[in-house]
Structure 1
Amino acid sequence: MSAPHRPSWRLFPGRVAALCVVELQKIRHDRTELYTRAIQPALWLLIFGETFSRIQAIPTGQVPYLDYLAPGILAQSALFIAIFYGIQIIWERDAGVLVTPTPRTALVTGKAFAAGVRALAQAVAILVLSILLGVTLTLNPLRWLGVVVIVMLGTAFFACLSMTIAGLAMSRDRLMGIGQAITMPLFFGSNALYPVALMPDWLRVVSHVNPLSYEVDALRHLLIGIPGNLPLDFAVLVLATAAGIITASSVLGRLVR
């Protein structure tokens, strides 16, 4: 007698978890990428953060600028990991290993949150460096749990954006070009480096529709206690991630034809 068929929704969490475990195994076997990717955020904190803290060029109230900057650099690091994650999809297509019985939604969700796992691994290095530089971070374990959730959601959204671009661009070179073209506008069009109040009106509009701003806002609230709207930040990131998964899943078929 054949085994009873399990509904696909029951298999979904297991498939997503399996892809995250695969990503963890990749990190454990080869940490080189983590080390090299940590160089850029370290330079932002050491050079940009320290310099602007000394000259007090960006007013951040009673919060030291380096404290204000650290959550933004953490979000930036996750963005830089996620925005090129679609290259992996194209590589798997070219290698002939992308064809899988796993439903597209589960595949996209698994890869999106696997990118979040990679971002968390790098976040540890950034937060350790922040502490060494004197940044005062929360000791509340519930807030640290919130940081994990926010980083996972933010990274998952941008990974889905990358996979969507991969499905449209169809080649690694095009994806690299598009990714490089949108990464810095996303970063500078957020509140990662400076308060929204200092932005010109048109940039404020960009910041308000940029999911990275909501990720940074939540991280600042959780890590250093700056007042924020955590329910709004969380809701925006959840909705953005859900929309990203749906969109990426719908274009993934172009890569597996």
Structure 2
Amino acid sequence: MCSGTTPAGISPTAAARVTSAACAPDGGRRVVSVEHTVTVIRAPRGRARIAALGGQIGAFSLVELQKLRRDRSELLTRMIQPALWLLIFGQTFSHLRVIDTGEVSYLAFLTPGILAQSALFIAIFYGIQIVWDRDAGILAKLMVTPAPPAALVTGKSFAAGIRSVAQVVGVLAIAYLMMIPLTVNPLRILAAMAVVVLGTVFFTCLSMTLAGLVRNRDRLMGIGQAITMPLFFASNALYPVDIMPEWLQRLSAVNPLSYQVNALRGLLLGTPANYLVDIGVLVLAALLGIASASALLRRLTR
């Protein structure tokens, strides 16, 4: 009976020659030499790792944005609500003159708040989409890729921010048609878009965090509806902080939406704004949101 030996293992150089004995048809022996080549791929480090993470975030964002190609009417339908706020609510309270906004007209004061509100309404229900992805089995496939959960969360939230830019363009177009005195400086308008994107990232991550906690579409929709209006009314989007009761001023001070509106008013109206504080709060809120949503993302796939 023929016998042979096969060396086990591969050399540290990642290339080894393995020799084994096999029976020949005539009962003799022949030596079969097999050469194995193993390629070792090292994980990227330093700048390469940052570049790889950026590519992963960009890929996830692109996938999300491509969903708009299936239903482009979504952007138009989402313009209805902010248009009604400006055309009905804004015009009515502007004529009533019940809210003192100083030298700025109430319509001009309201417009940055409507920009922040429209982005908030896009972001706060974004967690429902990730629950849909879970139910369709898409999320489980994404979670087994080499990309970390933070890349997936950041990509989706950044895509939501890009969607909100379309809202900014629409609201600004309506405001200019209504002859509301906003800036026409393109750099300030671009900066305002960046502020809206930054705020949208936080509220999208907040929605995905809630999705990781409740893991149910119906409950998530109910919670989203329950917190959207308090977030909006407990900010300075509709009225100055000075006329709020003291307890509401305290809520406004910890509401990221208030800092977003402050930065937008400074950029679009030229009112006094502490950009360092406003942008700093939004960046910190976005980072905390990404961290919390990433930590709870795997809970959705269980």
The bucket for the TM-score relative to the shorter chain is over 0.9
1:48-59 maps to which residues of 2 (within 5 A)?
48-59=89-100
- 8 Å CA contact retained: 2:57, 2:151: yes
- 8 Å CA contact retained: 1:167, 1:254: yes
TM-superposition CA deviations, 1:106-131 (whole Å, max 9, x none): 00011111110111112111110011
1:82 matched to 2:123? The reply is yes
1:185 matched to 2:224? The reply is no
2:23 matched residue in structure 1: none
TM-superposition CA deviations, 1:28-64 (whole Å, max 9, x none): 4422211111111110000000011111111101101
The alpha carbon displacement at 1:4 in A equals: 5.2
State the alpha-carbon separation in 1 of the partners of residues 238 and 43 from structure 2: 52
Q: 2:273 aligns with which of 228, 243, 257?
A: 228
Q: 2:134 aligns with which of 77, 80, 93?
A: 93
SS at 1:139 equivalent: coil
1:238 matched residue in structure 2: 283
Q: Give TM-score, length-normalised by structure 1.
A: 0.96
Q: Please, what is the CA RMSD of the aligned residues?
A: 1.3
- 8 Å CA contact retained: 1:23, 1:118: no
SS at 2:267 equivalent: helix
- Paired letter, 2:273: G
Q: Gaps spanning 5+ residues in structure 2: where?
A: 1-38
- 8 Å CA contact retained: 2:168, 2:193: no
- 8 Å CA contact retained: 1:23, 1:117: no
2:113 matched residue in structure 1: 72
2:153 matched residue in structure 1: 108
State the alpha-carbon separation in 2 of the partners of residues 71 and 77 from structure 1: 10
Structure that is richer in strand per residue: 2
TM-superposition CA deviations, 1:169-197 (whole Å, max 9, x none): 10100100000000000000000000000
The aligned length equals 257
State the alpha-carbon separation in 1 of the partners of residues 111 and 60 from structure 2: 29
Which shifted more, 95-104 or 209-218? 95-104
Q: Gaps spanning 5+ residues in structure 1: where?
A: none
Greater relative CO (CA pairs within 8 A, separation 6+):
1
State the alpha-carbon separation in 1 of the partners of residues 97 and 60 from structure 2: 45
Which shifted more, 33-42 or 172-181? 33-42
1:1-257 maps to which residues of 2 (within 5 A)?
1=39, 5-7=43-45, 8-99=49-140, 100=142, 101=145, 102-257=147-302
- 8 Å CA contact retained: 2:134, 2:301: yes
Structure that is richer in helix per residue: 1
Of all paired residues, the percent bearing the same amino acid is 61
Which shifted more, 54-63 or 186-195? 54-63
- Paired letter, 1:149: A
State the alpha-carbon separation in 2 of the partners of residues 14 and 237 from structure 1: 24
SS at 1:34 equivalent: helix
Q: Give TM-score, length-normalised by structure 2.
A: 0.82
State the alpha-carbon separation in 2 of the partners of residues 177 and 59 from structure 1: 34
SS at 1:98 equivalent: helix
Which aligned runs of 4 or more in structure 1 are off by greater than 6 angstroms?
Answer: none
